[in-house]
Homo-oligomer: A and B are copies of this chain.
Amino acid sequence: MSRPIVICCAITGSRPRKADNPAVPVSPAEQIESAHEAFEAGATVLHLHVRDEHERPCFLPERFAVVMEGVYEHCPGMIIELSTGGVAGSPADRAASLPLRPDMAAIALGSVNFPNGVYHNPPDVIDELARTCADLHIKPCIEVFDLSMIYTARAMCDQGLLREPLHFHIVLGGQGALPARRQVLDFIVAEIHNLFPDSTWMASGLGRHQDIVMDWALYLGGHIRT
């Protein structure tokens, strides 16, 4: 028996620059080309962070818009998910591209430590991002960087701020956040099944943890992000 797997590809992460890895696509033309390669290789969802002209992470709607337009043209049917986090940005900046009405938007439902500081997602910011997604009919991807975030998702569904079925992205392997540990993924997946019976999920491992987490996710019935 086989099951269809959704592959979500993050062509450009939240941080790397050309100096870190010359293959990282940073210009819109490079990003469109990279999305196209991922699409031809089988990825059906594009997770998108953009850069300004100095390769700095940014939330400029013009940048998102030009990449979205190119991807819709070259990759018919590909689902585009915009990042609303990953770098320091004001709440208004982080939501600034949602009016472009991407198919999906990634929202981290809480705060957690990253190696260099706090990934700051206070309750009022999360609630407002969820409200904006609902108003614009954008499907949220719930980014899970720590266990509490799935219970916050439950509370937000109960309050009408999120609508089921949800899609979760479980992120493992971040220092200060959830480790790439099989017991952790097993427990979170079991809790998601308990609390959100009709939801879907995918998992990814940061850096060197990518391959093992992908294996676990496939084994456990999840989808994957590369």
A residues whose Cβ falls under 8 Å from a Cβ of B: 110-113, 115-123, 145-148, 151-152, 155, 175-179, 181, 183-184, 187, 191, 194
Contacts and interface: CB of A to CB of B under 8 A. Distances in A.
A112 B146 contact: yes
Given A111-B113, A112-B148, A146-B147, 10 more contacts: A110-B113, A111-B111, A111-B112, A111-B118, A113-B152, A117-B122, A118-B121, A123-B176, A147-B147, A183-B191
Contacts of A176: 110, 123, 148, 152
Contacts of A194: 183
Contact of A148 (B152, B178, B183): B178
B123 A115 contact: yes
B113 A147 contact: no
A113 B118 contact: no
Contacts of A145: 148
Please indicate which of the listed interface residues A115, A122, A178 has the most CB atoms of chain B within 10 Å of its own CB.
A122
A112 B115 contact: no
Copies in the complex: 2
Given A147-B178, A191-B183, A122 B111 contact: no
A119 B111 CA distance: 8
A113 B122 contact: yes
A204 B146 CA distance: 20
Given A148-B176, A151-B181, A155-B175, A117 B113 contact: no
Contact of A118 (B120, B147, B148): B120
B113 A148 contact: yes
Contacts of A110: 112-113, 146, 176
Nearest to A186: B187
A155 B173 CA distance: 13
Contacts of A117: 122-123
Nearest to A124: B117
A44 to B, nearest CB: 30
A155 to B, nearest CB: 7
B118 A122 contact: yes
Contacts of A175: 155
8 contacts: A110-B176, A111-B119, A113-B122, A116-B123, A118-B120, A118-B121, A118-B122, A145-B148
